[in-house]
Amino acid sequence: MTDLEQQKIEETNKDVEVKDEIKDKVDEVKKEEEEEEEEEIVEEVKRTMLESIVYTIFHEGIDDNIHLLIRITFVCLFLSLIGLLFVTHFNIHIIMLLIISIALCVTLEWWLYEWNNEKAIRDAEKENEEEEEEEEEETEEKKTK
């Protein structure tokens, strides 16, 4: 064999090695994505009330069960204040307590709504960053070829 043929063989061997490395990296990325999807699925599991309380204590965010518990608590508060309002013949102090509790409920619901929107925006930004990183990696791989 001539030197030229040996160089071609060496180049093809290098190309094969690079392709194998790229395939390995692609497989790793796919495995990571599958693991992330499994984690997301685990987070979406419905929990009992006690499990939701424990989960909310140790993780960021408020579970749907906790949100429901907050709403039920506010409804009970409103019903008791309305009952007191009739029993006390529309006492001004009970009226003020009812107004304050309504304001508290509205601001809490608004805050939770905004928090969920912010969480959705952060999740979308993370996905965009991951896509950009993947595109950069693909361009780097193309440049190395």
Q: How many helices (H) and strands (E) does the chain have?
A: 4, 0
Whose CA is closest to 19, among 142, 139, 130, 133? 142
pTM of the model: 0.57
pLDDT at 81 over 90: yes
* pLDDT value of position 26: 77
Write out 15-27 in H/E/C secondary structure: HHHHHHHHHHHHH
Are 70 and 53 within 8 A, CB to CB?
no
DSSP type of residue 44: T
DSSP type of residue 89: T
* pLDDT value of position 76: 97
Average pLDDT for 57-83: 91
Q: What percent of the chain has pLDDT over 90?
A: 31
Neighbours of 95 (CB within 10 A): 13
How far apart are the C-alpha atoms of 15 and 118, rounded to whole Å?
A: 46
pLDDT band at 44 (very low <50, low <70, confident <90, very high): low
Q: Is pLDDT larger for residue 141 or for residue 92?
A: 92
Q: How far is CA 70 from CA 48, 67, 73, 84, 105, in A?
A: 15, 5, 5, 21, 9
* pLDDT value of position 99: 97
Most confident by average pLDDT, 18-32, 86-100, 112-126: 86-100
Half-sphere exposure of residue 81: CA atoms within 13 angstroms, side-chain side? 17
pLDDT band at 135 (very low <50, low <70, confident <90, very high): confident
Q: How far is CA 31 from CA 34, 38, 127, in A?
A: 5, 11, 17
